[in-house]
Structure formats: C-alpha cells, structure tokens
C-alpha cells in the first residue's frame, strides 16, 4: 500500500513539475517579450499640426479673428451725412448736405481703441489655440495611457487564461484542490472583464483624439507610446498677462470715451438758401450739438466705470486661480516624484521572477503563486497610473507658467 501510494505521489510530482516548467516559460514570455507592431508612432506634434491645419474648431477661431479685426476697422467711420433737396425761394431746388462730428478727442481715443481691439483679438486667438493644444495634449497622454494599460490587460488576460486551463487540468488529476482552481477561474474572469473595459476605453480615447485633431481614422491608424511623450505645451502665462493688460486698457479707454460723448459735438453743412447767384459762402452751415440729455450720458459713464472695476476684479481673481493651480500642481508633482523614488514600481515587475523562483524551489504553493502573479499586475498598473499623472501635471505646469 505504501509502495502504491509513493508511486502515485511521484507521478503527481512529476506531472506538477512538468506543468510548472511549461507555465513558467509561458509567464516569462508574456511578461518580458514585447513584440513591436509595424505601425508608425503618431507624435503629439503631428496631432497638433493636424489640428491646426484641418480642425473645424481652429478654422472657426481663425474666421472669428478676422471678423474681430474688420469690426475694429469699421468702428473708425463717421456718421452718414444727410443729403436734402429744398426750394428756399419756391422757384428752384437746391441740394444740401449736413455732416455731424463728435468731439475731436473722441476720434483719437477711438483710433487707439481699435488698435487695442486688434491686438487683443490676436492675443485671445493665441490663448484659445493654446488651450485647444493643451486639451489635445491631455487627450494624447490619456490615449497613450489607455494603450499601455490595454496591452497590460491583454498580457495578463493571456497569462490567466492559460493558468485557468492548466488549473482545470491539474484539478481533474487531483494535483491541486478546488479552492485553488476556483481562485484561478475567478482571477481569469475578472481580468477578462478588465480587458474588455480597457479595449472599450481605448477605442473611445482614440476616437476622441481623432475627432479633436481631425485625423482620418480609416487612413491613419494611430499607435501611441506614452514613454516617448515629451512636453510640448507652450506656457500661456505671458499671453495671460498681455490679454489682461489689453482688456484693462480697452476698458479704461471706454470710460474716457463715454465722458467725451457728454461734450458738445460739431455740425457742418452746406445749402444755398438764397436766390440764384447768391455767393456760395453764405450757403455754409456751422453748428454744435448740445448734450442736453445729461442723465443719459451720466448713466453711460457710471456703467463704463463699473465695467472697468468688474473687469479689474475678475482679472485679479483669474490670476489668483492661475497661481493657485501652479502651486497645487507643483506640490502634487513633488509628491508623485517622491513617491516614484520611494515605491519600487516599474514597467516589468520583479514579483514575477521572485514568484517563479520560489515556486521552482518549492518555497510557495500554487495558491500563493497565483496571488503573486495578480500582485505583479497591480504593481504595473499603479506604475502606469503614476506616470500618467506625472505627465498630466507636467503638462498643466507648462501650460499655466
């Protein structure tokens, strides 16, 4: 009986060892052999260039910029002159023309205001374009993360699928227990769900990136690599300061223009009111416009002053927000950098090698080996998340500085 029992034990041990070696080879191959797909890598520079050239959003912003420039030019005009035909003597008709003017200083202010409006339109266009590039860059980082995470779930799903099949075989031979078999099945099912969700998230991210950067998804397959990513966002801090300066200058000049409207204007005209042959000099008309509706002008001045105060407060608040975002992102970045040095995370987890070695020498059982394989996936997942957050924070710092 003892000889028969020892023979069965040796058979199980040999079968277990043979399966263990084949499975360890499979794990090593899936974790450390990465095939390179024959797809070109689309860089963030290419995405930004594609968006600048073909995006409907950028085309709309360019059209809006031109509209604002022409609007500023159109504000330099005078009121339309008034033409009239009258018969001063009842014997013939004479042509008259009348042109009104505002106080002369107002036209000087209006010319300067138009120049400021054009400069502000240029700065605001660059700000909106920079914001679009910033959003595109964050989409690029997110898509790169989703691509790397999807590859990770596929590798892990393949490992756990093979593990599930081997466990079914070992359980049928009585080498492992039901608890170990059920745990392997549960881990495989859970990873299969993660893989499907990761593939769906990746498809959504690529679709959003394609739409934002105006790529043709049928003719340009996108393969991204988060580890090749470099900071591309240009700092918008200087543009923010220029925009604030132009807005305050424009609002302050609007107060002065409102005050100029409360001053008398000028009226020039010509109409010969005398008989034929009357000297032309006596046909000229000169007059002034009298601002008798003082309460209306006073209300416009008060309104422009309050608009200036509101703008000044809003710009100060936006600057405080920008500084707060920079400070918060800097603190978070420092924390993540410290975490990345303190926590032993990496793209290729050492847990797999340790688990394989311990299983080979018999220091851990199969159940512990399955748990360590799952832990290696969690470590690599955390590493990907850490790198993504660092890239996003770096992009934010570059944008707001």
Residue 324: pLDDT over 90:
yes
At residue 95, φ and ψ (nearest 5 deg) are -95, 135
Which domains, ranges and CATH numbers included, belong to the chain?
A: 45-306 (1.20.1600.10)
Give 385's contacts (C-beta < 8 A, 6+ positions apart).
Answer: 145
Residue pLDDT, tens place only, 142-185: 888 888 898 889 888 888 888 788 778 878 888 778 887 888 88
Based on its alpha-carbon atoms, the radius of gyration of the chain, rounded to whole angstroms, reads 38
Residue 57: pLDDT over 80:
yes
352 band by pLDDT with thresholds 50, 70 and 90: low
**Average pLDDT of the chain?**
78
Residue pLDDT, tens place only, 38-52: 355 677 888 888 888
Residue pLDDT, tens place only, 222-248: 555 555 555 555 677 888 888 898 899
Residues 222 and 208 sit within 8 Å (Cβ to Cβ): no
Listing DSSP states for 175-213 in one string gives SS-HHHHHHHHHHHHHHHHHHHHHHHHHHHHHHHHHHHH
């Amino acid at each position: 009986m003892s000889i028969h029992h020892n023979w069965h034990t040796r058979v199980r041990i040999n079968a277990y060892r043979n399966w263990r070696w084949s499975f360890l080879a499979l794990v090593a191959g899936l974790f450390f052999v990465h095939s390179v797909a024959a797809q070109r890598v689309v860089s963030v520079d290419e995405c930004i260039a594609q968006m600048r050239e073909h995006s409907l959003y950028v085309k709309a912003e360019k059209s809006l910029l031109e509209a604002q420039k022409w609007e500023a030019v159109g504000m330099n005009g005078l009121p339309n002159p008034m033409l009239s035909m009258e018969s001063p003597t009842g014997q013939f008709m004479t042509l008259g023309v009348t042109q009104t003017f505002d106080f002369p200083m107002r036209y000087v202010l209006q010319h300067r205001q138009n120049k400021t409006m054009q400069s502000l339109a240029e700065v605001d266009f660059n700000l909106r374009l920079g914001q679009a590039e910033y959003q595109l860059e964050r989409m690029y980082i997110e898509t790169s993360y989703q691509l790397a995470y999807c590859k990770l779930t596929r590798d892990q799903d393949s490992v756990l699928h093979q593990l599930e099949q081997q466990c079914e075989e070992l359980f049928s031979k009585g080498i492992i227990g039901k608890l170990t078999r059920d745990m392997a099945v549960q881990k495989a099912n859970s990873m299969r769900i993660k893989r499907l969700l990761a593939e769906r998230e990746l498809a959504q991210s690529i679709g959003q990136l394609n739409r934002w950067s105006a790529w043709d998804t049928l003719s340009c397959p996108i393969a991204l690599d988060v580890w090749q990513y470099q900071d591309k966002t240009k700092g918008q801090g200087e543009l923010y300061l220029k925009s604030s300066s132009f807005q305050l200058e424009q609002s302050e000049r609007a107060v002065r223009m409102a005050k100029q409207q409360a001053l008398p204007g000028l009226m020039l005209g010509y109409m010969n009111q005398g008989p034929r042959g009357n000297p032309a000099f006596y046909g000229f008309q000169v007059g002034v416009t009298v601002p008798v509706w003082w309460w209306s002008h006073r209300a416009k001045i008060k309104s422009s002053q309050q608009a200036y105060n509101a703008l000044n407060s809003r710009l100060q608040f936006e600057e405080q927000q920008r500084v707060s975002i920079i400070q918060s992102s800097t603190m978070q970045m420092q924390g993540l950098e410290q975490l990345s040095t303190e926590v032993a995370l990496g793209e290729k987890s050492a847990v797999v090698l340790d688990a394989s070695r311990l299983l080979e020498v018999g220091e851990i059982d199969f159940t512990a080996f399955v748990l360590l394989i799952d832990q290696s996936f969690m470590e690599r997942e955390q590493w990907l998340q850490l790198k993504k957050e660092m890239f996003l924070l770096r992009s934010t710092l570059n944008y707001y500085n």
